[in-house]
Amino acid sequence: MRLANKIAIITGSGSGIGQASAFLFAQEGAVVIVNDLDVQKGTDTVEQIRAAGGNAEFIRGDVTSPTDMELLVQEVIAKYGHIDVLFNNAGISGVGALHEIEPDTLDRILSINIKGVFIPSKYVLPHMMERKSGSIINMSSCIAEIGLARRASYAATKGAVLSLTKSMQVDYASYGIRVNALLPGTIMTPFVENYLRTSYEDPEAAIASLKTRQLSGDLGRPDDVAKAALFLASDDSKFMMGSPLYIDGGVVFGKNA
């Protein structure tokens, strides 16, 4: 019970890595606030947590909307009095070399992936500052560290999240708040399945090729990242501040040939 009685908000937790983290955090004793844009996915996640004996509730909201996020935080504070963990997980993919990306698409990716970290944090931080305690986990990606073909917009957002994490850590360290980043490699989630389906003629061949990029020889699973998120959320990582945590099957630091 590494998160016993902790109040944890996880954005975009109706699917993939966020959902796996919601399941794991609840198993470890947290009250999980499941946030997502998608009501069906969010309520399904909460039902599954409750069926397994955990404690969770769904609050719909768009991470880019100051109104939605302010209301979400107000609702959590009114009911539970404090917030221990904020996992800024919601994000979308962006495929294409720079000249192929439409300005509107770029705005959407920048908004969800960067502003979507900034806005929930803005409303949660004053409550953590007041209690002089809290853990914020920002979802970056190993793409922040390496060049990958046709991911210009997405890579830019995940690099920004890593930089933002370091600046946030400096500003809030004196309030007892830790801010760290997760840098996953390729993890099999609906996000990646959709990207494979829409970007490659032969998704199976694409998966085989992606696997060769990993030293592990296989892609990651949502639970691999959820376990790293649990570590950052809990006091087990109390000496980690402003750090990137890689869960990438060796993509960043390894070489296969």
Query: Which residues participate in catalysis according to the annotation?
Result: 154
Is 190 a binding residue for ligand NAD by CB under 6 A? The answer is yes
Distance of closest approach, residue 91 Cβ to ligand NAD, in angstroms? 2
Is 138 a binding residue for ligand NAD by CB under 6 A? The answer is no
Distance of closest approach, residue 16 Cβ to ligand NAD, in angstroms? 2
Count other Cβ atoms within 10 Å, centred on residue 203.
Answer: 14
- For 52: left if phi > 0, alpha if psi spans -120 to 50, otherwise beta; the answer is alpha
Tokens at 7, concatenated: 């109040």
Whichever of 14 and 134 has its CB closer to ligand NAD, that residue is 14
Is 94 a binding residue for ligand NAD by CB under 6 A? The answer is no
Task: Write the CB contacts of 254 (distance below 8 Å, at least 6 apart in sequence).
Answer: 215
Give the C-alpha separation, 232 to 163, whole Å.
Answer: 18
Which residue in this structure is represented by tokens 């004196």?
A: 174
Distance of closest approach, residue 169 Cβ to ligand NAD, in angstroms? 19
Distance of closest approach, residue 25 Cβ to ligand NAD, in angstroms? 15
Tokens at 197, concatenated: 């389906």
Whichever of 109 and 177 has its CB closer to ligand NAD, that residue is 109
Whichever of 96 and 174 has its CB closer to ligand NAD, that residue is 96
The residue from 59, 85, 112, 230 that contacts ligand NAD (CB under 6 A) is 112
Angle at 242 between CA 96 and CA 69, to 5 degrees: 70
Give the C-alpha separation, 64 to 68, whole Å.
Answer: 8
Is 11 a binding residue for ligand NAD by CB under 6 A? The answer is yes
The residue from 32, 49, 63, 76 that contacts ligand NAD (CB under 6 A) is 63
Is 186 a binding residue for ligand NAD by CB under 6 A? The answer is yes
Distances (CA, A) of 141 to 74, 116, 200, 252: 30, 15, 21, 10
Which residue in this structure is represented by tokens 């904020």?
A: 86
Stretch that binds ligand NAD, among 30-38, 69-77, 145-153, 235-243 (CB under 6 A): 30-38
List interacting residues with ligand NAD (CB under 6 A): 11-12, 14-18, 35-38, 41, 62-64, 89-92, 112, 116, 139, 141, 184, 186-187, 189-192
